[in-house]
Amino acid sequence: MSDLIQVNNLTKTYGKQRGIRAVTFNIAEGEVFGFLGPNGAGKTTTIRTLMGFLKPTAGQATIGGLDCWSQATQIKRLVGYLPGEFSFDPNLTGAQILSYLGHLRGGVDQNNVRQLIERLDFDPSKRFHTYSRGNKQKIGLVQAFMHKPQLLILDEPTSGLDP
């Protein structure tokens, strides 16, 4: 198997604040990889750098041979991403949010979206502000999977979910 993700001496600093320093790893296609560490260890910073939301101070990261900073738009087509925290207009329903995010992706298979909603036992008819933390997480999981991505990057995917 070839490496789908390559990270070499990735560093992100915030002035005198700690970020990540010289992180190096490779992840092969088909491999499951998890970050473990205490709060503030740099797990989310590494993920946000991989997604092209943060520009690295030094080093390089690629996904599918694409540079995570300069080719971030192309990477987002390959990746299903669940951020650690997210928010939407509190008055939109779950269905409206998923429809909006599907349109941003250029359209998604609505059959797949329905299957994900069913599988997660999620009610998309309620307004975002009425959802529990767990149901907000379910919206995030549906949107991460709905375009059948080649790669999933999930930041704290079980947060707020019951076993």
Span 51-98, pLDDT tens digits: 999 999 999 999 999 999 999 999 999 999 999 888 899 999 999 999
Show the DSSP H helices in 105-155 as ranges. Answer: 110-119, 133-145
- pLDDT at residue 86, rounded to an integer: 83
Segment (H or E) for 21: strand 17-28
Burial per residue of 5-26, b for 16 or more beta-carbon CB atoms within 10 angstroms, e otherwise = bbbeebebeeeeeebbeebeee
**Averaged over 18-29, what is the pLDDT?**
93
The model's confidence at residue 161, banded by pLDDT at 50, 70 and 90, is confident
Q: Is residue 140 predicted with pLDDT exceeding 90?
A: yes
Q: By the 8 A CB rule, do 75 and 52 touch? A: yes
Tokens describing residue 146: 């709905």
CA nearest to 82, candidates 159, 4, 157: 157
Q: Is residue 130 predicted with pLDDT exceeding 90?
A: yes
- pLDDT at residue 2, rounded to an integer: 85
Location of structure tokens 């789908």: 4
Residues 106-121: tens digit of each pLDDT: 999 999 999 999 999 9
Full set of structural domains in the chain with CATH: 3-70 (3.40.50.300), 94-149 (no CATH)
Residue 156 DSSP code = S
Which amino acid, residue 36?
L
